[in-house]
Every structure is written in C-alpha cells, then in structure tokens.
Amino acid sequence: MTFAASLVRALAYLAARVLPKSRTAVLRGFPPYEDNLLAVYAALEGRPVKRVIWVVQYPAVLPPVPLRAGTRLVRKRSVWDIYYALTAKYLFITHGHFLRRTPPNQISVNLWHGIPFKAIGRTVGQEGREDSYLVATSAFTRDILAEAFGMPPEQIILTGQARTDRMLSVDRAEIWRRTFPDRPLPRKILLWLPTFRQTPYAAGQSDGAIFGNVFNCSNFSEETFNRILSDHDAVCLVKPHPMAAHQSHTNRSNLHFMDEAWLARQGLSLYQLTGAADALISDISSIIADFMLMDRPIVLLFEDIALYEESRGFSFNPITEFLPAEVARSFESFLDELRPVLAGEDPYAARRAKLKKLFFDHSDAGAAARILDCVMGESH
C-alpha cells in the first residue's frame, strides 16, 4: 500500500471515530441487492433505526422489495456514500469496505457472502478486516473465517447467513408462475450457479482453467444437455457469477440463461429462485453449502479442480471430503451424476446430511433476526 493510501485510510478512520453517529444503518454490498442485504433490510423493520442507507451502483434501479419510509438509495463512491459511512451507527457489508477498522462508536457487521470453499482473505495474501462482528454458520466455519480475516473468534457470531432466510421461505410453484407464466410447472427445476475463473474486477486474476463456456467444461454439449432435460420434463436455469466476464448465451427449450437484470425484471432475488430449485448444479460456489439446508440433491461439475487447487487453493483440504457429492470432471461423468437426480433419486443424501451438521448450527429462516439481536443488543 502506498503512503498516500495509508494516509487516506488513517484520516477516514479518524473522521469515523470523532464524528457523532446517527441511528442510521448502511447496507453496502455486491451486487447491491444481494440476498444478505435484502434479508437484513427486512429484519431491520421495527428495530431502533431511523434511517436506512442503501449504497448502490445506480440509484434509479430499485430493489426487488418495497422500500419503507426512511430508506434512501445513494450511489457507490459518492460523497453521500462516504458521509454515511462515517456517521452511521451501523454498517452491514458483504464485500469489504473502504473503512477497514471500526471505531468504538460504530458497529460494522461483515456479513460476507457465503461459506468460503475457495481460499480468501489473508490465506491468499490479502488484508484482513477489523469489524465489530463477522457472521459465521458454525464453530467449524468460524475457524476458517477467523483465519481468513484475522478476526478474534469471540467477535464471530454463529447466527447463520442472512441470505438463506430468503431461500427457506418461498413457494416453488409461485416462483415458477412469476418467472415463466406461460409455461407449465416442470417436474424438475434445476439451478446451475458456477463460480468465476477470471473477472474484470481483478485484473490479472485467473483461477483454474478457462474452457470458453459458462459451464467451464471442455466438451460440454448444450444440445445433448437440453435433450436430456426435455426427456425428463426438466428445466435448467443457468446464472453466471456476477463477477464473471460477460458472455452471450442463447436460450433453448429447456435451458434458460439469466443475469441480475433478468432477476430484477421478475421482481426476484437469486436466493428466492434457489429456494424453488429441486436440485443445484455448481462447481465450487459457496451456494453449495447454503443449498444443503434445502435437503435436496446437488450435482458438481468441476473439470479443472486440480488446476484450481494449484492456482487459487481451497479453505478445506482435501476439498473432496467437504463437498456434498462426487465431483464430475467431464461432460460424460456429469451426465452419469445427473441422471439419477432427474429420475428422482438422491444418492448423496446421507453424505450431505453429515456435512450440513458440520457447516450449520441453525437450519431455519431466522438468521437475519439473530444477527440483529447480537448487533442491536451490543448497541444498548
């Protein structure tokens, strides 16, 4: 870090320490309407907060929930973003913040954005954080996050991820009617959520191998996959990671691609859609852990797992012992793993249940309330 950057950071911390705080809660994350923030926003109703500031990229784009009185959208990196960061009593963040230390008169809650299967934070040479609280889901994940962020274990609260509240409280048929009103409800809804390998948000970063398609599989056949889905009256919804480089996709009869804008048009968030899925497909995304709370099948296609381990690394080792299904490493082996799920089987239910107990202390939809109970209690 340059001297100038260190000086700016020190001055920002000093300003936050001396400026009086208002009963304001700041929500700041990526994407701006990420489900952790949506769940916390809902749980803030009735709490001792007079104003909610939602930091977004484009204030003209509204969230997929009604805004209450006292809520204001402000542009990220604007003067207002800085002002409220320095004067709000509460900061709720999902992807870090320019204030890396929390002064005694402020409460910063690092919600983070999932259980980190892949190495993060200090384990990959990045800085830690000094927040008031860091959210975890169990004693096991607390230890991983403590190392990644350099946080004392006593400041890590085992409340569960707020975003899973929104996954655990949806009506599958209603979600389908909202998203595809002209199509009958299929027998199976599959949701495919891959992680990214390269991102425009981090120049030079490259994790694993790049195979040139959203499925990150060298011989993936969309035509074959779509035919198998059709044969089983199944639909697969594919959402690329929000940090992935943009690619063009063409929808097929039983294969539909979506992004943040598509979700916004439906008035939905990702975790609401996840709650409607009969099965999840992924590689190493953190949503793999969250979906264990649904007690539904998970299929893993991760062709470049060995190279990913070499280039990025994992938080759990050996990683395959902490994944809720066998890892397919080719298109053919992926289909072998998928067919039993399409047939209504759940071959890894026992394995998944064992890992669920390791990863989660709570399996209900009350995580956001537990977070605020810790935070607001401390404020009194």
The pTM assigned to this predicted structure is 0.94
> Considering only CA atoms, which of 191, 365, 347, 238 is closest in space to residue 293?
365
Q: How far apart are CA 101 and CA 97, in angstroms?
A: 9
Residue 1, in any domain of the structure: no
Task: Quote the CA–CA distance of 274 and 367 in Å, as a whole number.
Answer: 17
In this prediction, residues 340-360 reach a mean pLDDT of: 98
Assign residue 87 a region (left: φ > 0; alpha: ψ between -120 and 50; beta: otherwise). alpha
The parent domain of residue 334 ranges over 169-359
**374 and 355 both lie in a single domain:** no
The pLDDT tens digits of the residues spanning 128-166 come to 999 999 999 999 999 999 999 999 999 999 999 999 999
pLDDT digits (tens, 9 = 90+) for 71-110: 999 999 999 999 999 999 999 999 989 999 999 999 999 9
Q: Is residue 290 part of a domain?
A: yes
Give just the sign of the alpha carbon dihedral 268, 212, 284, 134: negative
* % of the chain exceeding 90 in pLDDT: 86
pLDDT at position 111 over 80: yes
Q: How confident is the model at residue 202 (pLDDT cuts 50, 70, 90)?
A: low
pLDDT greater than 90 at residue 315: yes
Residue 84 lies in a domain: yes
Residues 277 and 150 in one domain: no
Neighbours of 106 (CB within 10 A): 22
- Kindly state whether residues 48 and 143 are assigned to the same domain: yes
Identity (one letter) of the amino acid at 148?
A: A
Judged by average pLDDT, the poorest of 43-52, 198-207, 233-242, 276-285 is: 198-207
Other Cβ atoms closer than 10 A to 151: 22
Report the C-alpha gap between 104 and 102 in whole angstroms: 7
Summarised one tens digit per residue, pLDDT across range 224-237 is: 999 999 999 999 99
d(CA 219, CA 168) in angstroms, rounded, equals 35
Residues 329 and 371 placed together within one structural domain of the fold: no
pLDDT band at 210 (very low <50, low <70, confident <90, very high): confident
Q: Please, which residues bridge with residue 280 across strands?
A: 191, 298
Between residues 40 and 208, which one has the greater pLDDT? 40
Mean pLDDT of 177-206: 86
Same domain, residue pair 345 and 373: no
In a domain, 101, yes or no: yes
With 70 as the cut, is the pLDDT of residue 215 above it? yes
Among candidate residues 259, 226, 113, 235, the one with its CA nearest the CA of residue 172 = 235
Give the pLDDT confidence score for residue 3 in this predicted structure: 77
Looking at the structure, tell me whether residues 39 and 111 fall in a common domain.
Answer: yes
The answer to whether 273 and 237 have CB atoms below 8 angstroms apart is yes
Rounded CA separation 319/329 (Å): 14
- Check whether residue 79 and residue 126 sit in a common domain: yes
Query: What is the pLDDT, as a whole number, of residue 8?
Result: 85
**Out of 21-25, 102-106, 199-203, which region has the weakest mean confidence (pLDDT)?**
199-203
CATH of the domain at 307: 3.40.50.12580
Is the pLDDT score of 378 beyond 60? no
Q: Are residues 88 and 228 in the same domain?
A: no
**pLDDT at res. 77:** 95
- Burial (Cβ within 10 Å: 0-12, 13-18, ≥19) of residue 241: middle
CATH code, 89: 3.40.50.11820
Instruction: Give the pLDDT confidence score for residue 149 in this predicted structure.
Output: 96
- Contact criterion met (CB below 8 Å) for 85 and 20: no
Does residue 224 lie in a domain region?
A: yes
Strands of the chain, DSSP E: 22-28, 51-56, 71-75, 88-93, 107-110, 133-136, 156-158, 188-192, 234-238, 255-257, 279-282, 298-301, 327-328
The lowest-confidence range among 102-111, 114-123, 337-346 is 114-123
Q: What is the DSSP string of 214-242?
A: TT--TT--HHHHHHHHHHTTEEEEE---T
> 151 and 286 share a domain?
no
The gap from C-alpha 69 to its chain's centroid, in whole angstroms, comes to 27
In the chain, the number of structural domains is 2
Lowest mean pLDDT of 24-33, 166-175, 198-207, 350-359, name the range.
198-207
> What is the per-residue pLDDT for 317?
92
CB atoms closer than 10 angstroms to residue 248: 5
pLDDT number for residue 6: 83
Residue 203 has pLDDT above 70, yes or no: no
For residue 58, tell me if it sits in a domain. Answer: yes
* Average pLDDT in the chain: 94
Same domain, 347 and 371: no
Burial of 184-217, coded b for 16+ CB within 10 Å and e otherwise, reads eebebbbbbbbbbbbeeeeeeeebbeeeeebbbb
For residue 32, give Cα distances in angstroms to 61, 126, 344: 10, 23, 36
- Determine, yes or no, domain membership for 2: no
135 plus 232 within the same structural domain: no
User: Is the domain of 103 the same as that of 246?
Assistant: no
